[in-house]
Chain A
Amino acid sequence: DVKVTQSSRYLVKRTGEKVFLECVQDMDHENMFWYRQDPGLGLRLIYFSYDVKMKEKGDIPEGYSVSREKKERFSLILESASTNQTSMYLCASSTSQGLYQPQHFGDGTRLSIL
């Protein structure tokens, strides 16, 4: 089974802090994704990566950056956290082999910015 592990289930940080959310997958997947989920808005893509050191902006990249130095690890960085970044953050991975490959998700990180 695919295992996507996010470093924290719950995280509380202060406004202005630099925040790191870590995600690791164990299936040698090429693609990795970061989403945020807010009530009534569904899942929105922040960034994704289709290879090591490669990244692409999603729908809402403002205020975020990412890092992918190793294939199995994809980090989301909040450069200067703000209260409107309080949200549920979900990491996912998928393979590029074949069509219609599902994304597999981690358990999510509930981030609160005070």
Chain B
Amino acid sequence: AQKITQTQPGMFVQEKEAVTLDCTYDTSDPSYGLFWYKQPSSGEMIFLIYQGSYDQQNATEGRYSLNFQKARKSANLVISASQLGDSAMYFCAQGSNYKLTFGKGTLLTVNP
């Protein structure tokens, strides 16, 4: 069974600084995807970025990048130039066969 671990229950960052949110996973599937979602206090889950297990380059999407280290089974999310609107819960997920397993999330607070 897949398992996703997010070791940081909460993180604080100053506005305009970069922050890294950690995620490790455990799977025996040969092919899989890794995803990050943002959940503001209003509750909706917003898809941010994904990485395929066979992708050679790390994924980037605007201020978001995914630091994928396959040998370490880690898929950390890097947010550059943090904004106040980035304050939210962030969930890492790993997917195979169109099913996702989610971590328990990291609450990010961006301070002005």
Contacts and interface: CB of A to CB of B under 8 A. Distances in A.
Interface string A25-39: 000000100000000
Nearest to A92: B45
Contacts of B50: 100, 102
Interface residues on A, range: 20 to 34
B33 A42 contact: no
Interface residues of B, number: 23
A99 interface: yes
A57 to B, nearest CB: 12
A55 interface: no
A102 B61 CA distance: 14
Interface string A86-114: 00101010101001111111111010000
A90 B98 contact: no
B47 interface: yes
A41 interface: yes
Interface in B74-109: 91, 95, 98-100, 102-105
Nearest to A107: B44
Interface of B: 31-33, 35, 37, 42-47, 50-52, 91, 95, 98-100, 102-105
25 contacts: A9-B43, A42-B91, A42-B104, A43-B102, A45-B99, A45-B100, A50-B98, A90-B45, A92-B45, A96-B98, A99-B52, A100-B33, A100-B51, A100-B52, A102-B35, A102-B50, A103-B35, A103-B47, A103-B95, A103-B100, A105-B37, A106-B44, A107-B42, A107-B44, A108-B43
Interface of A: 9, 31, 40-43, 45, 48, 50, 88, 90, 92, 94, 96, 99-108, 110
